[in-house]
Amino acid sequence: MSNKVKMKTHRASAKRFKITGSGKIMRNHSGTGHNTGKKSESNRREARNWTVVEGGYEKKVKKSLGI
């Protein structure tokens, strides 16, 4: 019987990222918490949408999610 240790999911990452059916990692845009009156409506509208995590950062996120 092997004694392999399971990797724990980083709970803060699990709340901030979601995985699509095809395996892509999605994230929210920043800048929507407060002081939105001085930001343009188009910027706020774009920030409401999810976007794909790309590049080397995707590997780090997958590791913290235990994928």
Q: Mean pLDDT across the stretch 4-33?
A: 93
What is the per-residue pLDDT for 61?
Answer: 94
Q: How confident is the model at residue 1 (pLDDT cuts 50, 70, 90)?
A: low
Please indicate, yes or no, if residue 2 is contained in any of the structural domains.
Answer: no
User: Per-residue b/e over 45-67, b at no fewer than 16 CB within 10 Å?
Assistant: eeeeeeeebeeeeeeebbebbee
Q: pLDDT digit string (tens) for 26-57?
A: 999 999 999 999 999 999 999 999 999 998 89
Q: 47 with 32: CB under 8 angstroms? A: yes
Range of the domain at 50: 11-65
Distance CA 63, CA 8 (A): 10
Q: Could you tell me the CATH number of the domain that includes residue 53?
A: 4.10.410.60
Q: How many structural domains is the chain composed of?
A: 1
Nearest to 65 by CA among 1, 3, 15: 15
